[in-house]
Every structure is written in C-alpha cells, then in structure tokens.
C-alpha cells in the first residue's frame, strides 16, 4: 500500500491549458504539502494544509489553487499553464513531529 500517492506520474500539456494533480495519503497524517522541484533539483514549498485548512501559501502565482476535501487528500489545480511551470511536483505529508515527513513519488509536468 503506497503511503503517499500522486497521480498522474507524468503530465505533458500545452501552454494555456488547465490541469490537476491529485494526492492521497493513508498514513493518518494531519498535514499535507505541495513542493515544486525545478530542473536544478531545488525543492521549494508551495502550500501547506493542516486538517484541511491552508497554513502556508508561499509566493506562488494565483494560477495555482490547492484544494483539500479532507485531511487525506490534497489536490493541486493549475490554470493557464506556462512554460516555467515545467517541473516535478511533490506532495508530502507529515504527523505533528516532522520526522515522519513522507514524499509522494512526484508528478513530472512538462508544458510545451
């Protein structure tokens, strides 16, 4: 059973399109995150949700909208995709103490 699962694993789309990435965790963790990893491997926090409530919203264009229907799910919707959005997007979850921080397998988004 995968602890943090993301779909899709790969996503290739044209500029201007709207796409969604889904994330689910079965660990019972209270907090979920979205990270973006660019071509230079830099992992940067985008959003953090605790028990369905938005906790952190870093400087991210408002074309990115996270949604958490329940504490086990955190989805990411991206409007009007741009070339610069191409990256690997990782979902993660953690319990209160961060040593249980677990990443999903990532979604490689390519905008053409």
Partner 1 sequence: QKEVEQNSGPLSVPEGAIASLNCTYSDRGSQSFFWYRQYSGKSPELIMFIYSNGDKEDGRFTAQLNKASQYVSLLIRDSQPSDSATYLCAAALGYSTLTFGKGTMLLVSP
H-type alpha helices, the chain = none
- By C-beta, is 80 or 105 nearer to partner 1? 105
- 26 belongs to the binding site for partner 1 (CB under 8 A): no
Among residue numbers 49 through 68, which ones bind partner 1 (CB under 8 A)?
A: 56
Q: Which stretch binds partner 1 (CB under 8 A): 12-20, 21-29, 73-81, 91-99?
A: 91-99
> How distant, in Å, are the alpha carbons of 7, 28, 65, 99 from that of 58?
23, 25, 12, 22
Query: Which of 76, 90, 93, 111 lies at the binding interface for partner 1 (CB under 8 A)?
Result: 90
Q: How far is the CB of 73 from partner 1 (least distance, A)?
A: 18
- By C-beta, is 1 or 99 nearer to partner 1? 99
- By C-beta, is 9 or 63 nearer to partner 1? 9
Q: How far apart are CA 23 and CA 14, in angstroms?
A: 22
Both tokens of residue 44? 């940067």
User: Quick one: CA torsion of 22, 106, 94, 74, rounded to 10 degrees?
Assistant: -10
Phi/psi for 81 (5° steps) reads -55, 140
Interacting residues with partner 1 (CB under 8 A): 33, 40-45, 48, 56, 90, 96-99, 101-106
């Amino acid at each position: 059973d995968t602890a943090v699962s993301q779909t899709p694993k790969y996503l290739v789309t044209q500029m201007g399109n709207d796409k969604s990435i889904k994330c689910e965790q079965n660990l019972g963790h209270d907090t979920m995150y979205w990270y973006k990893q660019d071509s230079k491997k830099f992992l940067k926090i985008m959003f953090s949700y605790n028990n369905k409530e938005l906790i952190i919203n870093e400087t991210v264009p408002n074309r990115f909208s996270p949604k958490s229907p329940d504490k086990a799910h955190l989805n990411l919707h991206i409007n009007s995709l741009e070339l610069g959005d191409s990256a690997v997007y990782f979902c993660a979850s953690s319990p209160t103490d961060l040593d249980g921080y677990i990443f999903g397998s990532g979604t490689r988004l390519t905008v053409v």
